[in-house]
Amino acid sequence: MALIGITRCRKIEDYRQAILHVGGEVRILEPLASIMDALTGVDGLLLSGGEDVDPGRYGEPPHPTVVDVESARDDFEIALLHAARARSLPVLAICRGVQLLNVAYGGTLVQDIPSQVPGAIEHRLAVPPHEAYALAHEIWIEKDTVLARLMSDRLRDADACDVNSRHHQAVRQVANGFQISATAPDGVIEAIEDLAAAFCVGVQWHPENFWRTGEFRPLFEALLMEAQRHLESEKVRK
């Protein structure tokens, strides 16, 4: 079975369970590992959530709300991402992950939604840890995207579904080669993807929190399916 590498974060268990419950195997990727060691035998990459990406990486001074930047993690994950994509590995990027994905390819971020997005809705829903799956707002998914295809069974009125939300930053200027695939009602970007890749999707909410109930299972199934294809192609090549 395909092996999915998940970047280390403080709340790793739901990511791990989301992959295990669609039948994948998991390796937790530690920031101290070499890129070669981290990716050896890995068939797909899941970029997890966490603290803010260093604004210096997209040429901006930090907003007062930017705290707990982990430069070493940024270094590792950006190098990891570029190496994974060079090997045509499928990528699913979640929360901080989608922000890092965008920055790694030249995009920028909204550093603080409440103070920098006029009329912003609440994107940082304060709920107890055991209610991490609580729905916060809807998103509008663009037609003819990978995300729309994967979430077709959950969409209402053809293009909307509800998501949870725990972030104060978001994608601002989308990196070259990527397109917006979902937005919140206030215009905040909720998902991007590279349509030129077999599978490279980033989402701002936390689909991993729903591994028990499966609302966003298709995202993880798609990652695993593309990872399995990569595994099979590697077997043929060897």
Q: Which two tokens stand for residue 43?
A: 């068939």
Rounded Cα distance between 79 and 83, Å, is: 6
103 secondary structure, DSSP code? H
Confidence of residue 130 (pLDDT cuts 50, 70, 90): low
Cα-based distances in Å from 40 to 34, 96, 133, 222: 10, 24, 33, 21
Mean pLDDT of the chain: 94
The Cα diameter of the chain in Å comes to 55
- Is 13 an active-site residue? no
Confidence of residue 128 (pLDDT cuts 50, 70, 90): low
Which residue do the tokens 């729903």 mark?
210
> Sign (positive/negative) of CA torsion 117, 120, 123, 124?
positive
pTM: 0.96
Among 9, 95, 161, 200, which one carries the catalytic annotation?
95
Stretch 71-94: mean pLDDT, rounded? 97
Among 77, 138, 193, 208, which one carries the catalytic annotation?
208
* Element at 138 (helix H, strand E): strand 137-141
- Is 167 an active-site residue? no
Residue 43: per-residue pLDDT? 98
Dihedral (Cα; 124, 128, 134, 135), 10-degree rounding: -20
The per-residue pLDDT for range 154-178, each reduced to its tens digit, is 776 669 999 999 999 999 999 999 9
Q: Which two tokens stand for residue 91?
A: 């990528």
142 secondary structure, DSSP code? P
- Is 82 an active-site residue? no
Q: For residue 45, is pLDDT > 80?
A: yes
Which residue do the tokens 């989308």 mark?
174
Stretch 137-151: mean pLDDT, rounded? 95
Q: Which top CATH class is 3-237?
A: alpha beta
Stretch 199-225: mean pLDDT, rounded? 96
Q: For residue 67, is pLDDT > 80?
A: yes
Among 123, 167, 168, 206, which one carries the catalytic annotation?
206
What values do phi and psi take at 47, rounded to 5? -90, 120
Residue 197: per-residue pLDDT? 94
